[in-house]
């Protein structure tokens, strides 16, 4: 028996050498020969699993590795390989389990520690990811990967100053890594260091011109920069779009497509946000109310996150495809194979969304939806908007054709909203203004205006909260110093942070009398949340989609008097509301129902409006 084992070990060693040398066929033959004699030989199963993964047979590879682990539970390499594949497949919780088992056997296994942190970040277990990263750094103090994981996990945990420190150390050790620079830029952007973030993203593209994430983050940052002209904003997006011109698009002519104007259409939604996310909340009412007799729904998901909202999306889709790990060309080929009629690319520049799939002309009609400026892509046909976001005389420029819906934004009237409290003013005698938007939206121009609002209303204060970011001592000091430049003392600021569930987060609006909207990047979900909690919002009309969002929502619920067109009228609107307590009390009582009764909470009608748009676009394509 021992001799047979030794012989198998020799055979596997020789086969592994063939495997490394690239002779996969001979290596596979030996692996299978060993398994013929011993079907549960753990190492042979592991090596065959690696070969299957290498040749693109991922499901088979995972099955083989699971068998290897079952046959040999103490095979650390098999557990490590299984964790890596689970992570690649977008199942981070399974990856965490595999790495955890490996670390129980070999607690100081450095690759397992690093990849365990990766998996924990992907699974949203950020505190555990910090712990594992620190353990890895105890073994290799200057490990770039461990520092990168630590920085990302700290950032997600709201410890932004420590996150910047870890990421700067990583960049110091590997200055030509665009990915590391991009991660550092994200934290700088989150803190509100917009110019510094811009420089970091630009440096990432210098060292790695193909660093797509840095490229997209520059596009996000462009929306935060005040006083952008329409021409300059358009040029930024044109420059992006030119990089993705595809000269071989003539191969996708769709000549065989049935051009029956009235037939059932195949509609596809491409996004990384089919979960509890602002885009998910906006999109779900449409998907829920689609007329399935007229529209066949395809979802192409880039997200590894799965929650109750994901389940709802799945239940309303006719077809579901994961795009994780696929190139843009592969995704476009899948869409073409599905014979999609209309492709909707969601929130293009944000998260892990894939607008550049449209550059490959994946479908006859391609639409940009829930991005905040033009995609810049010549193959994107339409941009969905409305008359408030982009009036007929808009100065904003697009590579797409505008299609104006009666109303753009849509939200589900959640049945389990927290109760609306009495006016906080009646309990403490102070007007509490509030903003629960991202810190990166609160630029110096916003701070100057809000400081003027506070100065105009002496018995007032400002409550700032976004996730747990305002619990970081660095960030607290940062914002206190900024407001102090305009004469606002620390005692007039409430800075708090905590990662709440949705119900607890909404309940915090019970401490706010009036919400203040930032600019140029307005709040959408935050504006809606404030209003359904009985809190009126003061907003400022801008010149582009991104700085007209809050105004469009207020207009939809009949509160145009709260939308200002100058800084002076913004202050006046806040002052008038703060001084008219009876009106404020009445809004507190009635605003939620006004929102629920408004067009922004009428999912059925909204779906009809969008379907009319799709049908009109299809008619145009069929008859051109």
- The predicted pLDDT at position 215 comes to 94
- Secondary structure string (H, E, C) spanning 333-352: HHHHHCCCCEEEEECCCCCC
172-181, 341-350, 407-416, 599-608, range with the lowest pLDDT:
407-416
Q: Which domain holds residue 526?
A: 424-601
Are 196 and 304 found together in one domain? no
For residues 7 and 540, the model is more confident at: 540
389 vs 396: CA distance, rounded Å: 10
Beta-carbon contacts of 134 under 8 Å, excluding residues fewer than 6 positions away, are 150
Are 391 and 435 found together in one domain? no
Beta partners for residue 384, in sequence order: 403
The CATH number assigned to the domain holding 526 equals: 3.40.50.2000
Count, residues in the chain: 624
Q: Is the pLDDT of residue 2 over 50?
A: no
| Tally of CB atoms within 10 A around 438 | 18
Cis peptide before 356 (omega within 30 of 0): no
- The predicted pLDDT at position 43 comes to 84
Quote the pTM value.
0.87
84-88, 256-260, 301-305, range with the lowest pLDDT:
301-305
Q: Over the stretch 137-170, which tens digit does the pLDDT of each residue have?
A: 999 999 999 999 999 999 988 889 999 999 999 9
The CATH number assigned to the domain holding 187 equals: 1.25.40.10
Please report which confidence band the pLDDT of residue 177 belongs to, taking 50, 70 and 90 as the band edges. Answer: very high
- The predicted pLDDT at position 135 comes to 97
Are 456 and 592 found together in one domain? yes
Residue 140 burial (C-beta neighbours within 10 Å; 0-12, 13-18, 19+): middle
Residue 578 burial (C-beta neighbours within 10 Å; 0-12, 13-18, 19+): buried
Would residue 16 count as lying in a domain? no
Asked whether the beta carbons of 160 and 475 are under 8 A apart, the reply is: yes
Mean pLDDT of 289-295: 96
- The predicted pLDDT at position 3 comes to 43
DSSP, res 268: E
- The predicted pLDDT at position 252 comes to 66
- The predicted pLDDT at position 93 comes to 93
Would residue 105 count as lying in a domain? no
Q: Over the stretch 438-482, which tens digit does the pLDDT of each residue have?
A: 999 999 999 999 999 999 999 999 999 998 888 888 888 989 999
The kind and range of the H/E element at 163 are helix 160-173
Q: Is the pLDDT of residue 583 over 80?
A: yes
Asked whether the beta carbons of 92 and 304 are under 8 A apart, the reply is: yes
Please report which confidence band the pLDDT of residue 247 belongs to, taking 50, 70 and 90 as the band edges. Answer: low
The 10 Å CB-count burial string (b at 16+, else e) for 505-514 is bbbbbbbbbb
The kind and range of the H/E element at 309 are helix 308-316
Please report which confidence band the pLDDT of residue 245 belongs to, taking 50, 70 and 90 as the band edges. Answer: confident
| Count of domains forming the chain | 3
- The predicted pLDDT at position 250 comes to 53
Q: In what order do the strands lie in the sheet with 365-369?
A: 319-322, 295-301, 265-271, 342-346, 365-369, 382-386, 401-405
Residue with the two structure tokens 């109310």: 289
Cα end-to-end distance, the chain, whole Å: 76
Mean pLDDT of 284-306: 94
Tokens of 352: 């892990």
Would residue 415 count as lying in a domain? no
Residue with the two structure tokens 């940052």: 221
197-201, 245-249, 308-312, 503-507, range with the lowest pLDDT:
245-249
Are 506 and 539 found together in one domain? yes
Would residue 342 count as lying in a domain? yes
The CATH number assigned to the domain holding 276 equals: 3.40.50.11380
In order, the DSSP letters of 407-428 are --------TTPPPPPPPHHHHH
Q: Over the stretch 483-539, which tens digit does the pLDDT of each residue have?
A: 999 999 999 999 988 767 888 899 999 999 999 999 999 999 999 999 999 999 999
Beta partners for residue 452, in sequence order: none
Are 359 and 446 found together in one domain? no
Asked whether the beta carbons of 130 and 121 are under 8 A apart, the reply is: no
133 vs 173: CA distance, rounded Å: 17
- Closest C-alpha to 562, from 529, 524, 535, 592: 535
Are 323 and 202 found together in one domain? no
Q: Is the pLDDT of residue 172 over 50?
A: yes
Are 164 and 275 found together in one domain? no
Rounded alpha-carbon distances, angstroms, from residue 223 to 226, 418, 514 = 8, 32, 25
Q: Over the stretch 365-411, which tens digit does the pLDDT of each residue have?
A: 999 999 999 999 999 999 999 999 999 999 999 999 999 999 999 99
Are 517 and 400 found together in one domain? no
- The predicted pLDDT at position 1 comes to 40
């Amino acid at each position: 028996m021992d001799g047979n084992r030794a012989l198998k070990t020799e055979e596997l060693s020789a086969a592994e050498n063939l495997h490394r040398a690239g002779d996969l066929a001979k290596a596979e033959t030996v692996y299978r020969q060993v398994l013929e004699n011993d079907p549960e030989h753990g190492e042979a199963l592991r090596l065959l699993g690696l070969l299957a993964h290498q040749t693109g047979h991922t499901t088979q590879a995972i099955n083989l590795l699971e068998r290897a682990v079952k046959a040999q539970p103490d095979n650390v390499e098999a557990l490590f390989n299984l964790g890596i594949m689970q992570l690649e497949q977008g199942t981070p919780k399974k990856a965490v389990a595999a790495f955890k088992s490996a670390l129980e056997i070999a607690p100081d296994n450095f690759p397992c520690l690093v990849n365990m942190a990766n998996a924990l970040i992907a699974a949203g277990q950020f505190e555990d990811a910090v712990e594992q990263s620190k353990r890895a750094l105890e073994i290799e103090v200057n490990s770039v990967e461990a520092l990168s994981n630590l920085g990302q996990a700290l950032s997600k945990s709201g410890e932004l100053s420590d996150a910047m420190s870890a990421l700067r150390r990583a960049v110091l050790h590997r200055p030509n890594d665009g990915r590391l620079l991009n991660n550092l830029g994200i934290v700088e952007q989150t803190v509100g260091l917009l110019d510094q973030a811009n420089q970091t993203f630009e440096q990432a593209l210098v060292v790695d011109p193909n660093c797509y994430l840095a490229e997209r983050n520059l596009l996000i940052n462009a929306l935060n920069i005040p006083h952008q002209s329409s021409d300059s904003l358009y040029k930024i997006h044109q420059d992006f779009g030119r990089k993705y011109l595809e000269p071989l698009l003539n191969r996708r002519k769709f000549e065989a497509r049935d051009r029956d104007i009235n037939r059932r259409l195949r509609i596809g939604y491409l996004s990384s946000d089919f979960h509890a996310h602002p885009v998910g909340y906006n999109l779900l009412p449409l998907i829920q109310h689609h007329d399935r007799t007229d529209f066949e729904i395809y979802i192409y998901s880039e997200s590894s996150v799965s929650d109750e909202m994901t389940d709802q999306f799945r239940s309303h889709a006719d077809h579901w495809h994961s795009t994780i790990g696929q190139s843009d060309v592969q995704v476009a080929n899948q869409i073409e194979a599905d014979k999609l009629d209309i492709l909707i690319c969601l929130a293009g520049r944000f998260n892990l969304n894939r607008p550049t799939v449209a550059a490959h002309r994946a479908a006859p009609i391609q639409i940009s939806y829930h991005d905040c400026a033009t995609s810049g892509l010549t193959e994107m046909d339409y941009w969905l908007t409305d008359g408030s976001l982009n009036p007929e005389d808009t100065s904003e420029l697009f590579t797409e054709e505008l299609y104006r819906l009666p109303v753009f934004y849509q939200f589900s009237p959640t049945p389990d909203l927290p109760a609306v409290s009495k006016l906080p003013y009646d309990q403490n005698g102070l007007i509490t203004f509030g903003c629960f938007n991202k810190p990166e939206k609160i630029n110096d121009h916003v701070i100057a205006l809000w400081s003027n609002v506070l100065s105009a209303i002496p018995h007032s204060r400002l409550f700032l909260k976004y996730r747990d970011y305002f619990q970081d001592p660095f960030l607290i000091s940062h914002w206190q110093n900024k407001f102090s430049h305009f004469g606002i003392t620390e005692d007039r600021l409430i800075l708090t942070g905590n990662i709440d569930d949705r119900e607890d987060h909404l309940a915090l609006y019970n401490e706010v009398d009036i919400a203040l909207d930032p600019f140029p990047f307005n709040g959408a979900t935050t504006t809606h949340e404030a209003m359904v909690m009985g809190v009126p919002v003061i907003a400022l009309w801008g010149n582009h989609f991104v700085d007209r969002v809050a105004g469009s929502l207020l207009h939809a619920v009949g509160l145009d008097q709260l939308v200002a067109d100058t800084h002076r009228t913004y202050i006046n609107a806040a002052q008038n509301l703060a001084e008219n307590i009876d009106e404020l009390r009445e809004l507190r009582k009635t605003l939620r129902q006004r929102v629920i009764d408004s067009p922004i909470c009428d999912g059925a009608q909204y779906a009809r409006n969008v379907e009319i748009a799709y049908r009109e676009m299809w008619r145009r394509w069929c008859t051109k």
